[in-house]
Chains A and B, each alone.
Chain A
Amino acid sequence: MTAENKFGDIDPQVYQKEFSEPIHRVGMITCGLAIIGMFLPPAWLYFQYGVFPPISAIMVGMGLALTYAVPFFIIEPISYYPTLGDAGTYMSFLAGNISNMRLPCAAVAQAVAGAEEGTKQGELIATVGIAISIWLSIIAVFIGAVATGWFVNFFPPWIQDAFKRFLLPAVFGAVFGQFALRGKRYALIALVLALVPILFKWKAYVVIPLAVFGTIIIARLMYRPKKSA
């Protein structure tokens, strides 16, 4: 069944005036507010407790964090946009969990209603699906944080020590393993570019950019675009 069977063709002018325009206005304002909101925790920490990191620590920490994040700032919105649409993009990049929750919810909602991505009907339906998933996840994360915060106090010392010493290495190994499956050759390059300088005791602020950009550059040199038929 197609979307047109479920609901009729939408007048483009009505869609523009009653959906697109207010969506862009409110989307821009709310994302702007969230940007300001991101400065709230460090500001509050400073004003209530008088703690603020040294500028040098911020510069190096931000440099390392952005080395990782900047490619995603550009690529993720562009990649996800066709499925999420305008409203879905604003919502998903404010609420997070895009690939594991927002995209599947948009796709399922569209499938249930028989609408195609990229159409006006598809965008409206994806909007409802994503909004519902955001309500659900925020409520669940709140309950989950309170419950696990209480629950971890009862962990036996053996488990607490395991969390303290071995959780992070396991996380790093696990995410690396997941992405290694998506590019085995690149995984080997990244590992060599990172491990060799570490063995020579090079600093993180040199090795992380080297591993990230080195892997990207070598991958680009190896890359052969598929010729269109």
Chain B
Amino acid sequence: MEWKQIANEPWIWICGAILSAIALYQCTYFMIRALNIMKRYGLKKSDINSIIRGAVITSFGPVMSEIFIMIALVVALSAGLAWQREGAAVGSVFTELVQASNAAAGAGQEFGAKNFNMTGFANVIFVMNVSCIGWLIAAGFFTKYLGTARQKIAGGDTRWLSILTVCATLGVFGYWASSSLAKGGGIMVAAIAGGVLAMFFFLLADWIKRPHLKEWALGFAMFGGMIIGKLYAG
């Protein structure tokens, strides 16, 4: 059986449903606890409705842009795997794509290339899922201590923490962008166009004072870069 076919069979949808059920149980339990206390201390129903309305409106844009970007994951892997990883998991679509590339490289293959086979796919499944456990360990077992940890690690210097995360992201995406540049042709053009378009849309959002444009900036850049690369290559 082809890996593409296995990647969309019921098993992967069920795995995604199990993780989503855990997340939904958790958030519903927390919400009921919070609402009980809020009501007891006098918060009116109309205030609660306002909070819910605000959350729904705020989520709408990011949810729509996520689904738009998710097309990338559906095409590169499968709809089932996109659901399993994005229903309730830590990484964004972009993180998942870079981790899939890392996993394929681990198997000596190139993600999306002709040599990508069942072994590469199995490694993608393992690495994508298991490599995100660190976030769950940090949240699940260290949330109690995060307040003090923040003070100790940063020593009050949160600016350095922010620079450190930017550098880690630049390092890994710098590698994958550079490997695209080194290939030349349409692949190089797609990477450059993606980068230039992303910078343009993020700057544009600031210039025209439309911060919500940033939610869509990466999606536009990604699809724009892809189309420009294809047009160049023919």
Contacts and interface: CB of A to CB of B under 8 A. Distances in A.
Interface string B177-200: 111111100111011111111110
B163 A90 contact: no
Interface residues of B, number: 168
A49 B50 CA distance: 49
Contact of B122 (A45, A65, A105, A138): A45
Interface in B100-148: 101-108, 111-112, 118-119, 121-123, 125-144, 146-147
A112 B54 contact: yes
Contacts of A19: 33-34, 37
A137 B35 CA distance: 21
Contacts of B53: 112
Given A8-B42, A97-B62, A165 B127 contact: no
Contacts of B130: 38-39, 42, 62
Contact of B59 (A48, A136, A168): A136
If over half of B's interface residues share one DSSP class (helix, strand or loop), that class is named, otherwise mixed; here it is helix
Contact of B190 (A51, A79, A170): A170
Contacts of A226: 159
B140 to A, nearest CB: 3
Contacts of B137: 31, 35, 73
A72 B164 CA distance: 9
Contacts of B138: 73-74, 76-77, 93
Contacts of B74: 145, 148-149, 152
B229 A94 contact: no
Given A76-B138, A195-B178, 7 more contacts: A37-B15, A42-B129, A72-B168, A81-B147, A142-B87, A173-B221, A211-B175
